[in-house]
Structure 1
Amino acid sequence: MTGARGTVGYIAPEVFCRNFGGVSHKSDVYSYGMLVLEMVGGRKNNIDIQESNASEIYFPDWIYENLEQGKCQLLLQVTTDEEQEIARKMIIVSMWCIQTNPSNRPSISKVVEMLEGNLQSLEIPPKPFLFSPMMSDQDSST
């Protein structure tokens, strides 16, 4: 690759910064995860500096907060327990897909396995941290 190409918000960190590792099939897993989060979240993955609620500025933070609070039903118009379980599973799998370190992301075959598997067998991943615009210079140095 001679230069990074892609849509902002869907580009894996390693595509534009080699400190995160080399570009690989895990870069596509990142993009897939962001796309699924957008579908489940019902909004675009964009940063709106005019947003009145600071926790909603960075889309994955907003989704993760809802996941932690058990509010998956608020993200989609789910009406049944089965739909709520599917939404939660999609969010958890997507959060694994967008891990900053490519080695922490699952392969796409593992993603399929996770989506087809049991929700109770899925572990909640660490919160993504890479691009939160609310992070101050002091926070970024720690």
Structure 2
Amino acid sequence: MENNKKKIAIDVDQNYDLMMVRRLPASLRWALMLPLAFLGMSIVHLAYGAFMPRLLTGMHDEGGVSIVLSSLFIWYKYYVFVVAMVGTAPVQRAKKLAFSWVAVAIAMCLCAGTTSITCINADEINTTMMAATAAASVLGALWAVWKVRKVTSKPLDAEQ
């Protein structure tokens, strides 16, 4: 069965290129790679800030529900970061998987840096929350690599 879903600008094509940047020159795509990844991450973070207070109304800030919901948002944040980097990077389809590991390395450096800043500046550290969100960031980045592998390992259609 053929999927006739209409593609939008933030979709990825069969080569795992973002639709909105696939016709741009390679030098501009390299320049836009990190800004678009941070933009995607920021949008998820803004959604987190908008919805979490409403979702957790009347609940304990350090409770299990808070930890699970925060971890889900963190998971998606790092997933979007890696997908945006890989989708923007002007590398060949066959090398997208290898580049996704580079994107994961950058994401993990970002995770380590933000976690360190949080630990240094926090009055109290909730180790359960810290461990859960760190694990969620790793899992989100690895999930993105798995999705890149899944898309790029399929053979291209005959019309491509």
- TM-score scaled by length of structure 2: 0.29
Larger fraction in helix: 2
Higher Rg of the two aligned structures: 2
- Which structure has more relative contact order (CA 8 Å, sep 6+)? It is 2
